[in-house]
Amino acid sequence: MKQFSYRFRDKKELASCLEALRSEAPMEYKSVLASLYTADEWENVNEFRQEVEKTLPRATVVGTSSDHTILHGSIIEKENILVVQFFEHTVATLQVYDFDVLSPGASGKALANLVKHIDDLAGVELLTVPGRFNTKPFLDSLSVLPVSIPVFGGVANCEIPDFQPFVFAGDSHMTSGVVVILFRSSRLKFFVYGGLGWKPLGVPMSITKLSDDGMTIEELDYQPAFHVYDKYLHVSHSKSMEKDLFAFPLMLERNGVEIARLPVEITPDEYLRFVCGFTKGEKLRLAYGDPEEILASSKRAQHYMAFFAPEAILFFDCVSRNRFMQDSAETELRPFESIAPNAGYFSHGEITRAGRNVVTMNMVMLTVGMREKAAENVLPLTESGAGDSELTGSMSLVKRLASFITVVSKELEEANKKLERLARHDRLTSIYNRGEIESIMQDALLRNRELGSVPVSIIMLDIDNFKQVNDKYGHAVGDEVLKYTAKTLMNGMRGSDHVGRWGGEEFLIVLEDFSLDMAKQIAERLRLMIADVKVLPDGGNITASFGVAKYNPGEDFDDFYRRIDSALYMAKRSGKNCVATK
């Protein structure tokens, strides 16, 4: 395959570009795809399309709105870019879905039914303009494709006042829908890499209220969603606030992949509107851009791409990423010019896979390598870090501030983890404390009450004659006895079981999916393990009494607690060092 790219402002300049293309284009090819990235009105773009089709009658012509484009590693503002790809062994076919005619969910199902019958599908490119629709149902339908088939693309973007972004295929254009390009080939290979560079900051917040279409977060932790920006950034709700928010997306994790999402609108009710959907209960964190990590992610893309040895490269780059990097933005792009012909545009969202799922991201530079030939002449690139010389102007200072935030955040996170562990665990024995084991038990009982099919049994034990141990040997020995007992209980249980210190010399074990007889057998085994070791200074051993009870579905929790305590009391009354059930 071969890729040729040109920039132009009007029909006259386009004519010169097409004349140059005639002299450069290969004589033989199987198919040709022409893509227009444009900030022009549809009437003009349609005329551009017609001129391209006159020169290339066999071409499939598609396009999207974008007022910032990429050509040969440079950023072009408010001009048109024509990207022409000639394929030797590939056919590019189109599917167009207008969401005003067919919903995203129905469109996605129609596309999924179509592509499952295409045996030679090599990749899928999406040019979208969501309008008022949530594209998540459409993208979810594509998630059924094998992960070996890449799915990539971008969301139309144009920030010119009163301009309505659109996508088009042939003479059909839409302000709400998707153009799907299906690459059919046994030879075409793709390499797709999404570099982020934003890092989460602060505590996770749950989506507690969401609009019906899933695109507007109304509440985070039961507070109006915009409050997160007011609380952490002191950003007021005003028309000029957008310039204060573009560097601080919200970040979530899906399938182990971090996804950044940037609001496109703040409603009068202080809700956050996005171009893509969420799910109620998902957890979000505020995120900040680290220029050094942004450049490092770009370098990784360069190295992977050089090893892949593409014949062409496409970029789907976040417009807010470009704005954040300022004069350093081209630093990410220029090195790709030494790898392969490249072009692309700045989008309002980047479409790619997160694990198996196809999702819309923000703040990502999505780099797509393409080749039909086997990898040849792999280009070695010298590994290097992102140094200050690569960051110009204020970005050098931003880098140091980001580094400071990263270190402080890591220290705070580690401190919070220690505090969380202290809050949940007994300091002497390192097992769960009373509050945590009681919470675990209540959760297990609630699950049993709701589901009914998973039995819950509780074991409570008390070290026999513990007061005499303290009186005779001292509290230091008593502490060692408690630690020995806790360790013995942990060693005798499965990893999924829960052991906690109930108080003093009492311990409690929560067993899910165990009958009363099975729980009694476990208690008997633990009793023998505890009594087996001579743990006292004079060579003596200790014993423990056990009470076991199984929760009856629908039983009052307080009544169940009393049965557990009664079973332990029965064991004590029966001579200690035994197991009793109730």
Look at residue 230 in the predicted model and tell me its pLDDT: 83
Is 429 a domain residue?
no
For residues 395 and 387, what is the distance between their CA atoms, to the nearest angstrom? 11
Q: Does residue 221 sit in the same domain as residue 236?
A: yes
- Looking at the chain, how many residues does it have? 582
CB 349 within 8 A of CB 126: no
Q: Which of 9-23, 242-256, 426-440 is least confident? A: 242-256
Is 477 a domain residue?
yes
Q: Does residue 141 sit in the same domain as residue 259?
A: no
In 3D space, the residue among 228, 235, 236, 230 whose CA is nearest the CA of residue 206 turns out to be 228
Alpha-carbon distance values, 296 to 195, 286, 310 (Å) = 9, 21, 21
4 or 494, which is more confident?
4
CB 298 within 8 A of CB 195: yes
Is 121 a domain residue?
yes
What are the pLDDT digits (tens) for 177-213?
Answer: 999 999 999 999 999 999 888 888 778 899 999 998 8
For residues 475 and 489, what is the distance between their CA atoms, to the nearest angstrom? 21
Q: Does residue 96 sit in the same domain as residue 238?
A: no
Is 147 a domain residue?
yes
Look at residue 231 in the predicted model and tell me its pLDDT: 82
Measured over the CA atoms of residue 68, residue 74, residue 80 and residue 85, the dihedral's sign is negative
Q: Report the domain count for the chain.
A: 3
Is 144 a domain residue?
yes
For residues 312 and 3, what is the distance between their CA atoms, to the nearest angstrom? 6
Angle at 266 between CA 265 and CA 271, to 5 degrees: 120
Is 308 a domain residue?
yes
What are the pLDDT digits (tens) for 62-91?
Answer: 999 998 999 999 999 989 999 999 999 999
Mean pLDDT of 252-258: 85
Q: Which of 19, 79, 505, 555 is catalytic?
A: 505
Measured over the CA atoms of residue 356, residue 360, residue 362 and residue 366, the dihedral's sign is positive
Look at residue 355 in the predicted model and tell me its pLDDT: 83
pLDDT classification of 101: cutoffs 50, 70, 90: very high
Q: Does residue 568 register a pLDDT over 90?
A: yes
Q: Does residue 81 sit in the same domain as residue 217?
A: no
What are the pLDDT digits (tens) for 279-331?
Answer: 899 999 988 888 888 888 889 999 999 999 999 999 999 988 888 888 778 88
Structural domain including 43 reads 2-196+292-390
**Buried-exposed string 95-108: b where 16+ CB fall within 10 A, e elsewhere:** bbbebeeeebbebb
In 3D space, the residue among 3, 31, 364 whose CA is nearest the CA of residue 182 turns out to be 31
Q: Does residue 371 sit in the same domain as residue 267?
A: no
Mean pLDDT of 373-391: 56
Look at residue 238 in the predicted model and tell me its pLDDT: 61
Alpha helices in 64-186 (DSSP H): 104-115, 136-142
Q: Does residue 253 sit in the same domain as residue 303?
A: no
Q: Does residue 160 sit in the same domain as residue 297?
A: yes
Look at residue 384 in the predicted model and tell me its pLDDT: 41
Q: Does residue 109 sit in the same domain as residue 211?
A: no
Look at residue 446 in the predicted model and tell me its pLDDT: 87
Look at residue 389 in the predicted model and tell me its pLDDT: 45
**Of 390, 415, 443, which residue sits at a domain end?**
390
Q: Does residue 210 sit in the same domain as residue 172?
A: no
Percent of the chain with pLDDT over 70: 91
Q: Does residue 207 sit in the same domain as residue 174?
A: no
For the chain, the average pLDDT equals: 88
Mean pLDDT of 371-385: 64
Q: Does residue 404 register a pLDDT over 70?
A: no
**Of 322, 356, 390, which residue sits at a domain end?**
390
Mean pLDDT of 136-158: 91
Look at residue 216 in the predicted model and tell me its pLDDT: 92
163 or 476, which is more confident?
476
Q: Which of 103-117, 270-284, 416-430, 494-508 is least confident? A: 416-430
Q: Does residue 257 sit in the same domain as residue 302?
A: no
Mean pLDDT of 466-490: 94
Is 399 a domain residue?
no
Q: Does residue 57 sit in the same domain as residue 191?
A: yes
Q: Does residue 394 register a pLDDT over 60?
A: no
Look at residue 241 in the predicted model and tell me its pLDDT: 56
Is 418 a domain residue?
no
Q: Which residues are bridge partners to 257 per DSSP?
A: 254
Is residue 436 part of the annotated active site? The answer reads no
**Of 261, 286, 311, which residue sits at a domain end?**
286
Task: Please indicate, yes or no, whether the overall pTM of this predicted structure exceeds 0.85.
Answer: no
Report the CATH number at residue 530.
3.30.70.270
pLDDT classification of 243: cutoffs 50, 70, 90: low
- With a CB cutoff of 8 Å and minimum separation 6, the contacts of 423 are 436
Look at residue 383 in the predicted model and tell me its pLDDT: 46
